[in-house]
């Protein structure tokens, strides 16, 4: 599955884009000014996305990758 397919599936399931998740992450204190807080671990982000949005691990990691600026 391509990265874009992961993002498309996430949007289909949650109605949210990576930008929406970034905004939510800022509201939760995981990010500030578009950057991940240095103390936030990947596990915190993936656990949040799995619990609140019922994403699988791979999909949660795809969103985390967008937070790290790896891809859009």
3 state SS of 35: strand
The predicted pLDDT at position 70 comes to 78
Give the mean model confidence (pLDDT) for residues 44-58: 97
Dist CA 45 CA 1 (whole Å): 22
Domain boundaries defined on the chain: 3-67
CA 1/CA 40 separation, integer angstroms: 27
- Model confidence over 2-50: pLDDT tens digits? 889 989 999 999 999 999 999 999 999 999 998 999 999 999 999 999 9
For the chain, count helices (H), then strands (E): 4, 2
**Alpha-carbon 5 to chain mean position:** 15
Nearest to 72 by CA among 1, 21, 12, 13: 21
């Amino acid at each position: 599955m391509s990265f874009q397919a992961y993002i498309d599936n996430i949007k289909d399931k949650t109605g949210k884009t990576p930008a929406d998740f970034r905004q939510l992450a800022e509201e939760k204190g995981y990010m500030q000014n578009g950057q991940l807080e240095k103390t936030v671990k990947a596990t915190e982000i993936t656990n949040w996305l799995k619990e609140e949005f019922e994403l699988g691990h791979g999909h949660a990691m795809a969103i985390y990758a967008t937070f790290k600026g790896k891809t859009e």
